[in-house]
Amino acid sequence: MARNIRIVEVGPRDGLQNEKSSIPTAIKLSFIDALASAGLREIEATSFVSPKWVPQLGDAEQLWPALPPGPLYSALIPNAKGLARAIDLGVDRIALFTASSETFVQRNINMSIEQSLAVFADLIAEFRSRKPSGWIRGYVSTAFECPYEGWIDPRNTANVAKKLVDIGVDEVALGDTIGVAVPAEVAALTKIVTEAIPVDRIAYHFHDTRGTAIANVLQALELGVGCFDSSAGGLGGCPFAPGAGGNLATEDLVYFLERSGLPTKVDLYRLSQASLAIFEVLGRSPSAKSQLAQLSLSGTCPT
């Protein structure tokens, strides 16, 4: 059972990339500031992708230099142009992203899996030479199922995860992009992946489309995985993955870990305030169950 748990807050990136309207940079910054004040230490703040593909995150150049001090921030990088933009701004934690489904990688970054790995090998060499103490995550999306190809053989996911480690990423994040997985599948995938790479190099990125994410976290924890992604209030989704729901809500993850005796150092009340403020801007309510329960107890539950 993993005990030193890391939470990577992906709301500002995974959450806001999927909103129909663009959120002003100042509002993103106050959201991130509130997340930092709640005690979140690792925050995926934005992406350096093509603004034609994801206009919602087209303000990375304005956002990054204004990020509040404290947390470790990372950003998604798809190609050499994205890396150059990030390095110019002093970004020292990057996340590269591919998948175990050819169709999804094609739709998401217009490359094949092999092309993406070849591009990433060059990006990693460049990044390591410019930022010797930098940190690199590699995502494997559609780790369980693809919205276009259906069920994915866990051996394919393990194979891509191993190739990412071989080319030099520090951590592999296995993405349940459309939120289909159940614990038995998490156990099977974790077993196969840990035959290829050490368990302390694995993170899980669960979308909670079908309400299975917390059960999946428990399963992964029991198998020694200690890093989980989540987003405040359950924001999240992927514009290139039809059917992707929000990420596991950070409130639900924090509640579950704390109540299980696994300290997070995250202040649940402040986190809820951060979520409520951003959801108010978005004009809807957070989906975090622990938060809804709290609001309902205090008589302020949104209808």
* Residue nearest ligand HMG, Cβ-based: 175
Binding part of the chain for ligand HMG, among 22-30, 44-52, 152-160, 211-219 by CB under 6 A, reads 44-52
Nearest distance, CB of residue 139 and ligand HMG, angstroms: 4
Torsion of CA 126, 156, 197, 230, to 10 degrees: 80
146 catalytic residue (yes or no): no
**Ranges within 5-44 binding Mg ion (CB under 5 A):** 14
Q: State the catalytic residue, choosing from 146, 227, 238, 301.
A: 238
Determine if 17 is a binding residue for ligand HMG (CB under 6 A): yes
171 φ/ψ angles, rounded to the nearest 5 degrees: -145, 145
Cβ 82 vs Cβ 41: under 8 Å: no
120 binds ligand HMG (CB under 6 A): no
Shortest Å, Cβ 237 to ligand HMG? 8
- Phi and psi angles of residue 228, each rounded to the nearest 5 degrees, phi first: -135, 140
Q: Which residue of 56, 74, 79, 116 would you call a contact of ligand HMG, by CB under 6 A?
A: 79
Chosen from Mg ion, ligand HMG, none, partner binding at 141 (C-beta under 5 to 8 Å by type)? ligand HMG
CA pseudo-torsion sign 65, 68, 73, 75? negative
For 139, the token pair is 């995502």
3-class DSSP state of 228: strand
259 lies in the binding site for ligand HMG (CB under 6 A): no
Q: Residue 169's CB: how many other CB atoms inside 10 A?
A: 23
User: Torsion angle, CA of 260/263/266/271, rounded to 10 degrees?
Assistant: 0
- Where do contacts with ligand HMG occur on this chain (CB under 6 A)? 14, 17, 47-54, 76, 78-79, 81-82, 85, 97, 108-110, 139, 141, 175, 177, 205, 207, 238, 240
Residues with catalytic function: 238
- Applying CB under 5 A, the residues found at the interface with Mg ion are 14
